[in-house]
Amino acid sequence: MNSRRQDALDYHGGGRKGKIAVVATKPCRTQADLSLAYTPGVAEPCREIARSPELSYEYTARGNLVAVVSNGTRVLGLGNIGALAGKPVMEGKAVLFKRFADVDVFDLEVNSEKPEDVIRFCQLLEPTVGGINLEDIKTPDCFVIEDTLRKTMSIPVMHDDQHGSAIISGAALLGALEIVGKKIDQVRGVFVGAGAAGMACAGHYLRLGVQRERMLMVDTKGVIYTGRTEGMNPYKARFARKTELRTLTEALRDADVLVGFSAKGAVTPDMLKVMARRPIVFALANPDPEITPEDARGARDDLVIATGRSDYPNQVNNVLGFPFVFRGALDVRARAINEEMKLAATHALAALTREDVPQSVCQAYDVERIQFGPEYIVPKPFDPRVLVWVALAVARAAMETGVARRPVDPEQYRERLERLGTWLMLPSSYSYPPAASAGEPHS
């Protein structure tokens, strides 16, 4: 057993098993405390909520609670390993929600591959949580599940494999385009992989300004073209184009952007050689990218490349999105996470990348300086400003589009997020925060 594998197993199995726990936020040490926490005192908030359901946000933890729901049918890098085997990943999502945005999570693994079961399960959860993060559900079931829940529920629902990837890679695209000096409405883009992430990113890029006629999608059967029947579904059909191109190499000729959500080795150095000058390559398959940065740079010395890995520059990682998107959505009690909120998150990340990076962030990554350029096109996950910029942008968009049930003053909200961000950077922030730290800003 290699040391890295053993380190991972020790991390998850050492001490108290797993990665998360339920922590009480109110004292329960005396008879008086007990009478307030449970009977008879608990009857009072119950009566208030029965009278006005919106008061559930005032008297319960619902407003800061997200359900991470998965059936384990498409676990990142592992495939269909089932709900139980996927549980460590969902606990990991809970850790990231809490660590980066002080959002509490119940990880809930559904032991069914039937979309209708997952849909009904989530619908029945609505009184419990303030939002639902769908995770690691296979295509096309994930589309059916999310579409149905967004239409039938009045709390935010987001499939992170789709929209988290789209939000972050969209920000990386805006930064990379500025670096290579190309306009978004003039570039040719090729998507390698037609799963949830690939299709969501393609749709997001269209909203950012990429032209549909300048976009091609390629799956394991080749180019998705108008009239193709093999391996098709209604979701892929939305990205079919009338073209004579059939292979990935043909599609990449003179392309400006390659976005990969497929598998290790799907892209070769020779494929990059036929791309346009100063190409942008996002090799985002995990844990191993479609092509390594070393091999890519061996083929082209004029490219900008990003991966999903932390051991290379330009990590396109969903942790830059979902904690802060839900933070903003929860804080204004949004009914949904709409396209405007996702676009706002992308533009906030892109704008933050152009700002001077604080020395504290440089120290966290053990470098002297970080600045906008070919090896820094998205912010670093441990930059505390991401919380402020993204959550505020999402909250603003929710208010502007009418899905916020409790608008906030933007400047006051910014100050609260800054205080929360400062607290989250403290060494002890893994434990429950003191009053007026994380709890107060979101009351």
Any idea which residue has 């929209």 for tokens? 163
Q: Are residues 169 and 253 in the same domain?
A: yes
Residue 1 has pLDDT above 70, yes or no: no
Q: What is the pLDDT of residue 173?
A: 98
In a domain, 50, yes or no: yes
Question: CA-CA distance, 280 to 374, in Å (whole number)?
Answer: 10
As a whole number, mean pLDDT of residues 9-19 equals 93
Residue 298 has pLDDT above 80, yes or no: yes
Within a 13 Å sphere around the CA of 355, how many CA atoms are in the beta-carbon half? 15
In a domain, 343, yes or no: yes
Q: Are residues 93 and 21 in the same domain?
A: yes
Residue 428 maps to which CATH number? 3.40.50.720
Q: Are residues 336 and 415 in the same domain?
A: yes
Q: What is the pLDDT of residue 416?
A: 97
Domain that holds residue 202: 163-307
As a whole number, mean pLDDT of residues 284-288 equals 91
Question: CA-CA distance, 69 to 245, in Å (whole number)?
Answer: 39
Q: Are residues 57 and 87 in the same domain?
A: yes
As a whole number, mean pLDDT of residues 415-430 equals 84
End-of-domain residue from the set 307, 326, 356: 307
As a whole number, mean pLDDT of residues 95-103 equals 96
429 falls in which pLDDT band (50, 70, 90)? low
Q: What is the pLDDT of residue 441?
A: 42
Question: In the chain, what is the straight-line distance between the N-terminal and C-terminal CA atoms, in Å?
Answer: 47
Q: Are residues 103 and 223 in the same domain?
A: no
427 falls in which pLDDT band (50, 70, 90)? confident
Q: What percent of the chain has pLDDT over 90?
A: 91
Residue 39 maps to which CATH number? 3.40.50.10380
Q: Are residues 147 and 174 in the same domain?
A: no
Residue 322 has pLDDT above 50, yes or no: yes
Evaluate whether 266 touches 260 at the Cβ level (below 8 Å). Answer: yes
As a whole number, mean pLDDT of residues 250-279 equals 97
443 falls in which pLDDT band (50, 70, 90)? very low
- Please give the backbone phi and psi of residue 280, each rounded to the nearest 5 degrees, phi first: -110, 125
Q: Are residues 369 and 414 in the same domain?
A: yes
In a domain, 312, yes or no: no
Q: Which residues are part of the catalytic machinery?
A: 38, 93
Q: What is the pLDDT of residue 428?
A: 63
End-of-domain residue from the set 278, 307, 336: 307
Q: What is the pLDDT of residue 286?
A: 87
3-class secondary structure per residue, the chain: CCHHHHHHHHHHHCCCCCCCCCCCCCCCCCHHHHHHHCCCCCHHHHHHHHHCHHHHHHHCHHHHEEEEEECCCCECCCECCHHHHCHHHHHHHHHHHHHHHCCEEEEEECCCCCHHHHHHHHHHHCCCCCEEEECCCCCCHHHHHHHHHHHHCCCCEEEHHHHHHHHHHHHHHHHHHHHHCCCCCCCCEEEECCCHHHHHHHHHHHHHCCCHHHEEEEECCEECECCCCCCCCHHHHCCCECCCCCCHHHHHCCCCEEEECCCCCCCCHHHHHCCCCCCEEEECCCCCCCCCHHHHHHHCCCCEEEECCCCCCCECCHHHCHHHHHHHHHHCCECCCCHHHHHHHHHHHHHHHCCCCCHHHHHHCCCCCCCCECCECCCCCCCCHHHHHHHHHHHHHHHHCCCECCCCCHHHHHHHHHHHHHHHCCCCCCCCCCCCCCCHHHC
433 falls in which pLDDT band (50, 70, 90)? very low
Residue 437 has pLDDT above 50, yes or no: no
pLDDT in tens, 36-83: 999 999 999 999 999 999 999 999 999 999 999 999 999 988 899 999
pLDDT in tens, 330-370: 999 999 999 999 999 999 999 999 999 999 999 989 999 99
Q: Are residues 106 and 244 in the same domain?
A: no
Q: Indicate the residue type of 206.
A: L
End-of-domain residue from the set 274, 307, 340: 307
If one counts the domains in the chain, the total is: 3
430 falls in which pLDDT band (50, 70, 90)? low
Residue 219 has pLDDT above 50, yes or no: yes
Q: Are residues 169 and 149 in the same domain?
A: no
As a whole number, mean pLDDT of residues 366-380 equals 95
431 falls in which pLDDT band (50, 70, 90)? low
In a domain, 313, yes or no: no
Residue 442 has pLDDT above 70, yes or no: no
pLDDT in tens, 103-139: 999 999 999 999 999 999 999 999 999 999 999 999 9
In a domain, 26, yes or no: yes
Q: Are residues 358 and 392 in the same domain?
A: yes
Q: Are residues 291 and 326 in the same domain?
A: no
Q: Are residues 21 and 129 in the same domain?
A: yes
pLDDT in tens, 379-399: 998 999 999 999 999 999 999
In a domain, 438, yes or no: yes
Q: What is the pLDDT of residue 2?
A: 79
